[in-house]
A and B are shown apart, each in its own frame.
Chain A
């Protein structure tokens, strides 16, 4: 038939069929010759059928691409095969709810992302679409392929900011990295060479967009010194209000700065001094809250207002020694918590331990919930601030935030005390009747170091499936990733 139905005939027939044979009849004879009788009343229909079949035998005219590069290249190793079903089970859409509903920003996804970054692992490329939410939330830690996946639509649009993924970041390439990695780089450099870190930030600051400027300014909070003052004061004229506020907040933490003096004065004006005791009179301090601050807002307000004040300045302003301040604040729970925050900021872990054990057992909750509180040495801070033997109950959401703040498990001795604490034993013993959220158990998994997972596994195994399945899966996953 091909001999009869040539390209020109197909073209003509198709045009007539599209325009309508009512206007101009289809040239059936010309196309098909004797194959269709001239007097056949259904000649047009037969021609249509043959034209259709002819079209169906036409092969697609696509040339094979000369080369095909992987869309999501990555030098990291792919996670072990055994980890893939566990990842999907914990972190993908439908499967996630088999265990319990946890947003991808919970402690388990964070711990998984942290472990993958530490072990230089990447997701299997085929799992990227299935773990889309997880990838979006933690792309920076999951490697170049994950970052490329989140930017897959950017190839056709120019409005999306694209930053390349820098596996090993240093002074030569830090400007090309993603904002969060750049901030982490500056933060780490501040610990060893604060001046150099500030100089790097100053060098690129003017050319960065506001969100990037903001994270870079915040990254300077490590090792603040009067040498930073001119740069920070210069930011008072920044175009972005968020950047101006961040700079002001840092200035308030600089000893001797105008902002610090102003904040200290404001704080001292909010402290009521009185005498207490019958036989031995002693000074008693109490916070005086503005009328607009509701009772349930008091702790948050106090920490955000006074938490960044230097402990020494605070004591000096009150004309008391630090010990005397701690004793004088004993009757004000929130003030004791503020002092614990100040001790934490000043890295006075001995004082922090004393405050937590004597006055503010739950000060850690306020600290992990505050964006202003930075934990510089997570191990030392945990040993001081986390005293589970004093807890009256386990706190689900703060525990998630605790992992998010630490980004590592608790030190082994602290974790041991946690597993031995009454609060934890109560949760385990009364799980069937109190029905705690299963997320409690999986969060504990992230806080327990690998050396204690065996013991935790045995304890969790005694619970019914609805409570332990997610936690046990998470534990196995972390084991597999850490062994990779």
Chain B
């Protein structure tokens, strides 16, 4: 995909980075600039240090790397290089230097990796480089066995701790029930903080995080919805506890999902090696890219994807990345409206949604139009309920509706067809207002069971995105 200034604005983490990048557009700041046919552009930018910073960008997927110590991503040097390319500045075509190839080899995007020469294949059988490579460590079977046993002991200890934590969680919920949930709001922060700390001690960090986020979610709701919300959330916590105790009786996918929710992790490598993980290769379109800062000081970046072509039915996926807040602002890698062909690998779940890109094929392109699967509002709710039945702790769930209209009052907007209406989270987003009254909308949003967070819409007036 060719770079545009609009795209550069999107990936920029903040205004300061753009302004700083603008000052680097002068060719004199770049003693070296070159590119390859594979969409790579690299250069050396003279900064304040003695050595110039080495900057490389991939025009195909907007990957970038820079040797500067900036804590903004992308930094001003990568932005400046993108900006120059967006303006069509020519670069001489060259073979990528080693430092560019090294970066490519380390990248996770498989599509981009394929453009880098395979070092192993290119290397001659005997060379100084090979001699300089560290020798393979000698394997000590006893040490390995000791390590495996230690891992198993740790695992068993953690299982026991979590089970104990679940018992404490039940007691905590019972306490709240005995006192009555009507008074819970006044002590929600204190009580949830207490329960979260206990669950952290019990090594159930996933559940701890859910409880920690509960007060914010509760107070973000209108008063009238809070009773049901509390009952649902506290009931769901018991559901987790009970399901964890009886996980042996659960179907494999639900069990794996449960363990992930409770706090067990599955690395990318483990997921790639997980035999039951669902793989779906198709063309995927980005419908939304969101960022949220979690209480654990991690920025959660979600990229919501829809499979293009609904021959096999509607299919959505979400890519999740976590970046420490301390590294500063992060620009968008994906923008709504872009699409790419990829094989997605879904985390095990009875309602699979979270995925990683196992392999990307080709570069990203812009889609001029997206058509929602042929569901009306009722049909979309049917799908939601089917997923909720399969996964009782279902969170925000993607909903797509064809041929809908946004209506209602300024304070309470709804997305509706001729029969059913879904309340929209609208108060904080005035960008929704111009949608009112436009008929024939293909809409996509995240449904939390009460309100729809509208994220994307194709309308007769063109594409709508949140402000």
Contacts and interface: CB of A to CB of B under 8 A. Distances in A.
A155 interface: yes
A49 B233 CA distance: 9
Given A22-B179, A81-B462, A97-B19, A465 B437 contact: no
Given A71-B436, A126-B435, 13 more contacts: A23-B180, A45-B238, A46-B242, A48-B238, A62-B416, A64-B414, A64-B419, A64-B421, A65-B421, A70-B438, A126-B462, A466-B22, A466-B25
Contacts of A21: 177-178, 180
B248 interface: no
Interface stretch (A12-20, A311-319, A419-427): A12-20
A352 B381 CA distance: 75
Interface in B160-179: 170, 173-174, 177-179
Interface string A49-92: 11111011101101111011111100000100100010011000
Interface in B238-266: 238-239, 242
A52 B235 CA distance: 6
A128 interface: yes
A129 B12 CA distance: 21
B5 A44 contact: no
B102 interface: no
B18 A65 contact: no
B276 interface: no
A245 to B, nearest CB: 39
6 contacts: A45-B238, A48-B235, A53-B235, A69-B436, A98-B18, A126-B461
A124 interface: yes
B231 A464 contact: no
Interface string B432-460: 01111111000000000110000000000
Nearest to A72: B434
Contacts of B174: 42, 44-45
Residue from A124, A152, A465 with most neighbouring chain B CB atoms (10 Å): A465
A52 B438 CA distance: 36
B385 interface: yes
A44 B465 CA distance: 44
B15 to A, nearest CB: 5
A378 interface: no
A469 B421 CA distance: 46
B423 interface: yes
Contacts of A173: none
A124 B419 CA distance: 29
Residue from A68, A78, A94, A155 with most neighbouring chain B CB atoms (10 Å): A68
B433 A20 contact: no
B9 A466 contact: no
B450 A68 contact: no
A125 B461 contact: yes
A156 B412 CA distance: 13
Contacts of B437: 68-71
A126 B227 contact: no
Interface stretch (B43-51, B202-210, B311-319, B400-408): B400-408
Interface in B139-198: 170, 173-174, 177-183
Contacts of A149: 433
Contacts of B419: 64
Interface of B: 5-6, 8-9, 12, 15, 18-19, 22-23, 25-26, 83-84, 87, 170, 173-174, 177-183, 227-228, 231-236, 238-239, 242, 381, 385, 388, 392, 405-408, 410-411, 414, 416-423, 430-431, 433-439, 449-450, 461-465, 467
Residue from B15, B385, B423 with most neighbouring chain A CB atoms (10 Å): B15
B1 to A, nearest CB: 16
A68 B405 CA distance: 8
A56 B232 contact: yes
Nearest to A64: B416
A94 B9 contact: yes
A152 B411 CA distance: 12
B173 A126 contact: no
Interface in A115-132: 124-126, 128-130
Contacts of B464: 126
A55 B227 CA distance: 10
Contact of B15 (A56, A88, A97, A465): A97
Nearest to B388: A56
Given A53-B392, A94-B15, A152 B231 contact: no
Nearest to A92: B9
A85 B385 CA distance: 40
Given A62-B421, A98-B22, A129 B431 contact: yes
Nearest to A52: B235
A334 B421 CA distance: 71
Counting from the closest, the 8 A-B pairs by CB-CB distance are A52-B235, A20-B180, A68-B407, A125-B434, A70-B437, A22-B178, A65-B407, A64-B416
A68 B232 contact: no
A60 B381 CA distance: 10
